[in-house]
């Protein structure tokens, strides 16, 4: 695998990373990545690497998220924030079409997919897996979502192997990380310990190789390659959470009347936060609007959540009226029936649902409770 750049590892300095970002933008991409806003790390447009949360990290636990200063200038020294890339690929709100009345006739104009070429800077392994999962949902069957398809086909993915695990991370349990293994154009590993602040880069596509060729870099040394592997290994062994995942479909399908569902329902506020922060939750609803004259109408699609009462409403009432049934739907879909539907779990172990739950419900703890184990019997590795 050592022929030229292909498959081989390159090393970028911090200035080199800035040059890479410029090369990405010069190639027509709109670069989006982590930025600091409202005391959280959220995804937004990045003009330069100075827009990245340099020197910041986060502290996460059930219902808790705090930003903290690091002792160094790491650019990717934090875990995932509340947002995921689905905010770009599967927009929270989107007009699907516009209809206009002309006398007796009505014309319908579908919203054309945007031609945006997005470059996602800093896609973590769990998020890469989440994108692949949404690919199967929105592109993988008879019908393809044209908006998702257009954005996804043009998107550039600059992944980052995580240099530290967060307090709610369990991607290792879901075999979703912390190393990005496929789907990326470029994958970075940030190296902070060797005296010089550099990034080990691996190209995963022709586009990634082309961009790297446009960027000043050097061949990675064996020490750097070893250091990057050690960083990923250290991350994998320090996950804040753990969840046995090999038997979840059977476990949950066989426990649809487990008393734990009633117990969790006494805490769950059915606020839908977990579904909005989840990088794989894909459910949407539609809203029809019209002008006052009744000449023009539009249909909008927006994110929806199985935690709302309206979600399952049919004539006569909601199928899932109780909080118990709605939590059960979310968790059994995520961890069990998703496998029947799409061939993989719907969970990537990012931990967002734990952090952003206002009452700190922890999916890994709920699974342990249903499995009947003592919560203290399975300490994080």
Partner 1 sequence: MPQTLEACAPPLHPMAPRMTPVTRFIRESQDVFTFDLAPEGATPFAPGQFNMLYAFGVGEIPISISGDSQAPERLTHTIRAVGPVSAALGKLQTGDRVGLRGPFGVGWPVEAAKGFDVLLIAGGIGLAPLRPVIYWLLRHRAAYGRVGVLYGARTPDDLIFRSELEEWRRTPDFQLRVAVERAGPEWTGDVGYVTPLLSKLRFDPADTVSMICGPEVMIRATALTLEDAGVADSRIFVSMERNMKCAIGHCGHCQFGPLFICKDGPVHSYDHVRNLLAYREL
Q: Are 15 and 34 in contact, with CB atoms under 8 Å apart?
A: no
What Rg value do the Cα atoms of the chain yield, rounded?
A: 22
Q: Which is nearer to partner 1, 11 or 332 (CB)?
A: 332
Output 259-266 pairs: Cβ under 8 A, ≥24 positions apart.
Answer: 260/366, 260/369, 260/370, 261/324, 261/327, 261/328, 262/324, 263/369, 264/324, 264/327, 264/361, 264/366, 265/322, 265/323, 265/324, 265/327
- In whole angstroms, the minimum distance from the beta carbon of 358 to partner 1 comes to 23
183 alpha carbon, distance to own chain's centre: 14
Exposure of 203 in the CB half-sphere (CA atoms within 13 A): 26
- In whole angstroms, the minimum distance from the beta carbon of 111 to partner 1 comes to 8
Q: Which is nearer to partner 1, 269 or 321 (CB)?
A: 321
Q: Which is nearer to partner 1, 209 or 328 (CB)?
A: 328
Q: Which is nearer to partner 1, 235 or 245 (CB)?
A: 245
Q: Which is nearer to partner 1, 15 or 141 (CB)?
A: 141
Residue whose tokens read 């636990």: 61
Q: Which residues contact 38 (CB under 8 A, 6 or more apart)?
A: none
- In whole angstroms, the minimum distance from the beta carbon of 321 to partner 1 comes to 7
Q: Which is nearer to partner 1, 96 or 271 (CB)?
A: 96
- In whole angstroms, the minimum distance from the beta carbon of 362 to partner 1 comes to 23
Q: How many residues does this entry show for the chain?
A: 381
- In whole angstroms, the minimum distance from the beta carbon of 248 to partner 1 comes to 13
Three-state DSSP class for 128?
helix
Q: Which residues bind partner 1 (CB under 8 A)?
A: 96-97, 99, 101, 104-108, 110, 137-138, 141-146, 256-257, 282-286, 288-290, 294, 297, 299, 301, 304, 306, 311-316, 319-322, 324-325, 329, 333, 337, 340-341
- In whole angstroms, the minimum distance from the beta carbon of 149 to partner 1 comes to 10
Q: How far apart are CA 340 and CA 240, in angstroms?
A: 28
């Amino acid at each position: 695998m050592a022929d030229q750049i292909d498959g081989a590892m390159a090393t970028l300095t911090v200035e080199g990373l800035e040059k890479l970002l410029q090369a990405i933008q010069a190639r027509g991409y709109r670069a989006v990545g982590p930025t600091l806003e409202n005391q959280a790390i959220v995804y937004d447009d990045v003009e330069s690497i100075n827009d990245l949360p340099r020197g910041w990290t986060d502290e996460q636990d059930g219902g808790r998220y705090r930003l903290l200063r690091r002792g160094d200038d790491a650019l990717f020294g934090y875990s995932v924030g509340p947002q995921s890339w689905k905010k770009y690929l599967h927009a929270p709100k989107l007009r699907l079409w516009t209809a206009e009345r002309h006398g007796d006739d009505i014309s319908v104009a579908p919203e054309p997919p945007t031609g945006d070429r997005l470059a996602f800077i800093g896609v973590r392994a769990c998020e890469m897996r989440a994108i692949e999962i949404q690919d199967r949902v929105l592109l993988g069957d008879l019908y393809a979502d044209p908006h998702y398809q257009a954005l996804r086909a043009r998107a550039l993915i600059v992944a980052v192997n995580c240099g530290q695990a967060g307090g709610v991370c369990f991607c290792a349990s879901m075999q979703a990380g912390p190393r990005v293994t496929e789907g990326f154009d470029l994958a970075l590993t940030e190296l902070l310990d060797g005296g010089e602040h550099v990034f080990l880069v691996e190209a995963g596509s022709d586009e990634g190789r082309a961009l790297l060729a446009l960027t000043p870099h050097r061949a990675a040394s064996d020490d750097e390659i070893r250091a990057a592997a050690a960083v990923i290994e250290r991350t994998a062994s320090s996950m804040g959470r753990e969840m046995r995942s090999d038997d979840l479909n059977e476990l949950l399908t066989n426990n649809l009347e487990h008393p734990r569902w009633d117990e969790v329902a006494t805490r769950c506020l059915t606020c839908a936060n977990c579904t909005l922060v989840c990088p794989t939750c894909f459910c949407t609803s539609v809203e029809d609007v019209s002008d006052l004259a009744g000449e023009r109408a539009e249909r909008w699609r927006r994110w929806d959540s199985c935690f709302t009462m309206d979600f399952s409403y049919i004539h006569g009432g909601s199928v899932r009226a109780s909080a118990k049934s709605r939590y059960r739907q979310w968790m059994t879909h995520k961890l069990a029936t998703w496998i029947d539907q799409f061939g993989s779990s719907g969970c990537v172990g990012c931990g967002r649902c734990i952090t952003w739950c206002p009452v700190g419900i922890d999916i890994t703890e709920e699974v342990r409770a249903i499995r009947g184990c003592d919560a203290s019997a399975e300490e994080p590795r």
